[in-house]
Structure 1
Amino acid sequence: MAKPFLKWAGGKSQLMPEIMQRLPDYVCDGTPYQYVEPFSGSGAVALHLLDSPHPPTKVILNDINSDLINLYRVIKAHPAELLDYLKVIQSEYDKLEDKEAKQPYYYDKRDSFNNRDSSSIEHAGLFIFLNRAGFNGLYRVNKKNKFNVPIGSYKKPSFVFEDIILNASRLLANVEICNISFEDVLKLATDGNQSKLPTFFYFDPPYKPLNESSSFTSYAKGSFDDDDQVKLKEVCDLLDKQGHEWLLSNSDTTNLDANNTFFDDLYKNYKIERVKASRSINSQGGKRGQINELLIRNY
């Protein structure tokens, strides 16, 4: 199975068996189809499907986070140059003996990342560095779109994972990578499907936070609030009317409050299943363990 090149809050690697069991038949039987992911994140599901015996004929990956999409595009087009840059970062960081020595380096690189005036390759390398050296692998920006995650406590984080990046580059070779709204992805996928391929949409939006301390939905400037969740459901309704299959994952708001049936009410006309997930990335390292998450689909 292809491995994601990022740590990512809500990443889908551990839920992969549950997701794979719920795919439409045509995804698994060799039928040509189009795969569309409007919230790519770490790309775990897309990479898994691209590396499967029956990969999709056409793939559209999108995310509103322009820093993330730059990383995808660099991995696709310039993997060797990215690896060369990461090797320099690795060498420099390894020479710093402890966290106290590493802190100035980390925050200098964070400032460079936030200036967003470096080359696309360097910016992609800084993304991976911050993702691996930052606290708990979080990606979080403030209202000014400044990455604000502090340094982590990792003694020797690894930034150079050559096999993973080269394999991802190979898999992404013919993928259309976009940086638009999830609503616009719908139009792109339907208008651009000249061959009328069956189209499968997987939605993995920023999760609705269970409480304020678990709110890490600011993966891009602005947040993804309840109004956006409702807009996404309306997109799902439209796709359903057009005859497209879709699968959506999100948090289960009943984990902490049995009366908070936000998604049960919103998606009451669709199939809602609860699956177990063990979340390893959050703001309070001690509060980890298995919780329910939702898989919702229209087929």
Structure 2
Amino acid sequence: MKKLYTYPAKPFVKWVGGKTQLLDDIKKFLPSDLSQRNDVTYIEPFVGGGAVLFWILQEYPNITKAIINDINEELICTYRVIKSDVENLILELTRIQTEYLALDNVERKNYFLFQRNRFNEKNNSDVKTAALFIFLNRTCFNGLYRVNSKGKFNVPYGKYTNPKICDEETLRADSAILQRVEVLCGDFAQTGKYAGDNVLYYFDPPYRPLTETSAFTSYAKNGFDDAEQMRLCNFCEQIAKHKSLFVASNSDPQNVDNEDYFFDHLYKRFSIKRVSAARMINSKGSGRGTISEIMISNVANVY
């Protein structure tokens, strides 16, 4: 398989739980004849940073239509701007990058906090919102996206020497790929209306926390608890009844409790396998390493 970095289109932001490292495993769960199918529709209800999206649309050019969704309004605004107004976004990011890199570290922190406040005011143009979203992602601590109970982005400043705030080549490549993508914003369940034969879903929801302290990033202010995980499972059962195929990723509770069969019981009707993944973002180096994640699919049930 070609690695993601050999393709021009790739994630335009760093993202917690990004799937670049798991693309080989994800491909093993896809239908073996996917490349021979005609007019496939690909749907990703939790698009996040888009690692799987950009890879799969370049790996399988026979996927003629794609639909992405996310509950994060600013993230989806950024996707839409990259799709429809990428040149003005590049101009704005270039301006921000020039201003930022000319500052010393103290001035950079103040600049970051000023722009973070502007971002949280939520009264910016779409291009400005997208530019601030990318700027904050490239300059905040560890590239996290975390909001408080009021929905305000609150990740602190990160001390990067020379961050690449404006990646023109990637943005233009992403824009080209996004021309065949419909971009939605809201609850994942709204993608259910597209379920049907020759439709492939990939789910990468907010992971079930392994410990209380591992829930460091609140993807949306309302969170994603066990009730939401069960609602997602019910959704998978519904789209399977409409002959859609799906692959889903999640955390493996057995990393910390060998008797925790939450997902094994929840998805008992489907194929469940465990794969190895590196924990990429942690404030302490000792907290990083290889862990197990689960992959769930109904593809094995069909073939």
TM-score range, shorter chain: over 0.9
Gaps of 5+ in 2: 1-6
Amino acid at match of 1:16: L
1:155-170 mapped onto 2 (5 Å cutoff): 155-170=161-176
2:69 corresponds to which of 39, 62, 66: 62
Q: Is the 8 A contact 1:214 1:283 kept in 2?
A: no
Alpha-carbon distance in 1 for matches of 2:285, 2:88: 34
Amino acid at match of 2:202: Y
Amino acid at match of 2:225: D
Pair 1:206 & 2:231 matched: no
2:114 corresponds to which of 104, 108, 112: 108
Amino acid at match of 1:174: R
Pair 1:85 & 2:130 matched: no
Secondary structure in 2 matching 1:21 = helix
TM-score (norm 2): 0.93
CA displacement at 1:164 relative to structure 2? 0.7
Alpha-carbon distance in 2 for matches of 1:53, 1:230: 31
Deviates more, 1:210-219 or 1:31-40: 210-219
Alpha-carbon distance in 1 for matches of 2:275, 2:263: 14
1:29-68 mapped onto 2 (5 Å cutoff): 29-68=36-75
1:1-299 mapped onto 2 (5 Å cutoff): 1=7, 2-98=9-105, 100-187=106-193, 189-190=194-195, 198-299=198-299
User: Percent same amino acid among aligned pairs?
Assistant: 45
1:55–1:107 CA distance, 2 compared to 1 (3 A):
farther
CA displacement at 1:27 relative to structure 2? 2.5
Amino acid at match of 1:175: V
Secondary structure in 2 matching 1:177 = strand
Alpha-carbon distance in 1 for matches of 2:162, 2:180: 35
What is the CA RMSD across the aligned residues, in angstroms? 1.4
Alpha-carbon distance in 1 for matches of 2:66, 2:12: 18
Alpha-carbon distance in 2 for matches of 1:293, 1:55: 29
Amino acid at match of 1:31: N
1:217–1:149 CA distance, 2 compared to 1 (3 A):
closer
CA displacement at 1:216 relative to structure 2? 3.6
1:157–1:46 CA distance, 2 compared to 1 (3 A):
same
Deviations 1:154-205 (A, max 9, x none): 1221101111110000000121100021111112x13xxxxx6510111100
Gaps of 5+ in 1: 191-195
CA displacement at 1:53 relative to structure 2? 4.5
CA displacement at 1:239 relative to structure 2? 1.4
Alpha-carbon distance in 1 for matches of 2:223, 2:282: 17
Q: Is the 8 A contact 1:27 1:54 kept in 2?
A: no
Alpha-carbon distance in 1 for matches of 2:243, 2:229: 21
TM-score (norm 1): 0.94
Amino acid at match of 2:224: F
**Aligned structure 1 segments of 4 or more residues deviating by more than 6 angstroms:** none
